[in-house]
Amino acid sequence: MRKILLPITIACYVILFHHSAQAQNDIPSCDGVLRKQTYKDLSINNTDWRLSTDIQKDDWQEAKDSAGVNAILDGIPLQGSYDDYKKTSSSLSQSYSSSLTVDQTRNIYWSGLSLDGHAQSMYESCLSAVVRLHSRLSLTVDKVTDNDVTLNLFYNPSVNDPGRIGNLKWSYTNINQDDEKTLSSITEVSNSNYGGGYTITLSRPKDKDYQLAVNSVDLGTTAGPVIITAPPKPPPKPFLIQGHSGVLIWAQNDFLVTFSGDSAPQNGPNVGRSYHYSFTGQFISKNKVTGKETVLEKTTACSVDYDVGIDVFGDNSIRMTEDLNAPGNPCGISDSDKHHVNTFQIAP
Residue ranges per structural domain of the chain: 2-43+101-228, 238-348
> Is the confidence at residue 96, as pLDDT, over 60?
yes
Rounded percentage of the chain residues whose pLDDT exceeds 90: 8
- Report residue 63's pLDDT band, with 50, 70 and 90 as the boundaries: confident
Highest mean pLDDT among 6-15, 49-58, 153-162: 153-162
Higher pLDDT, 250 or 312: 312
Q: Residue 151 in contact with residue 144, Cβ under 8 Å?
A: no
- Report residue 7's pLDDT band, with 50, 70 and 90 as the boundaries: very low
- Report residue 169's pLDDT band, with 50, 70 and 90 as the boundaries: very high
d(CA 203, CA 146): 9
Q: What does the chain come to in residues?
A: 348
Q: Residue 37 in contact with residue 123, Cβ under 8 Å?
A: yes
Closest among 58, 83, 86 to 74, alpha carbons compared: 86
Beta bridge partners of 322: 308, 340
Residue 252, pLDDT score: 53
Q: How confident is the model over 275-299, as a mean pLDDT?
A: 80
> Is the confidence at residue 191, as pLDDT, over 90?
yes
Classify residue 220 by burial, with Cβ atoms within 10 Å: 0-12, 13-18, 19+.
exposed
b vs e for 314-326, b when ≥16 Cβ sit within 10 Å of the residue's Cβ? eeeebebebebeb
Lowest mean pLDDT among 169-173, 184-188, 263-267, 302-306: 263-267
Higher pLDDT, 102 or 94: 102
φ and ψ of 151, to 5 deg: -110, 150
227's CB contacts (< 8 A; 6+ apart) are: 13, 15, 103, 209, 210, 211
d(CA 49, CA 39): 13
Secondary element (H or E) of residue 345: strand 339-345
Mean pLDDT of the chain: 76
Lowest mean pLDDT among 84-98, 145-159, 165-179, 295-309: 84-98
> Is the confidence at residue 116, as pLDDT, over 80?
no
Q: How confident is the model over 153-175, as a mean pLDDT?
A: 90
Classify residue 271 by burial, with Cβ atoms within 10 Å: 0-12, 13-18, 19+.
exposed
- Report residue 348's pLDDT band, with 50, 70 and 90 as the boundaries: very low
